Amino acid sequence: MFTFKIFEIPEGKSERTLDLSPGDLELGEEVSLKSGTIQINFDHSLHFILVNLSFDVKVELICDRSLDPFDFTVNQDFEILFKAEDIEESADENGAVRKIDLAHKQIDIEQDVLDTILVNLPAKKLHPRFLDEHGNPVDFEQQSFGEAADGEEPSIDPRWEALKDLK
- Between these two residues, 141 and 110, which has the higher pLDDT value? 110
Average pLDDT value for the chain: 87
The pLDDT score that the predictor gives to residue 152 is: 60
Q: 140-150: per-residue pLDDT in tens?
A: 666 666 665 55
What SS3 class is residue 56?
strand
What SS3 class is residue 110?
helix
Q: 45-81: per-residue pLDDT in tens?
A: 988 999 999 999 999 999 888 889 999 999 999 999 9
CA–CA gap between residue 84 and residue 48 (Å, rounded): 6
Whether residue 165 has pLDDT greater than 80? yes
Using CA atoms, how far residue 33 sits from 18, 49, 61, 114, in Å, is: 14, 28, 9, 11
Which segments within 89-134 are labelled E, that is strand? Answer: 90-91, 95-99, 106-108
- Lowest mean pLDDT segment, chosen from 42-51, 111-120, 136-145: 136-145
Query: Do the Cβ atoms of 42 and 13 come closer than 8 Å?
Result: yes
Q: Is 29 left (phi over 0), alpha (psi -120 to 50) or beta?
A: alpha
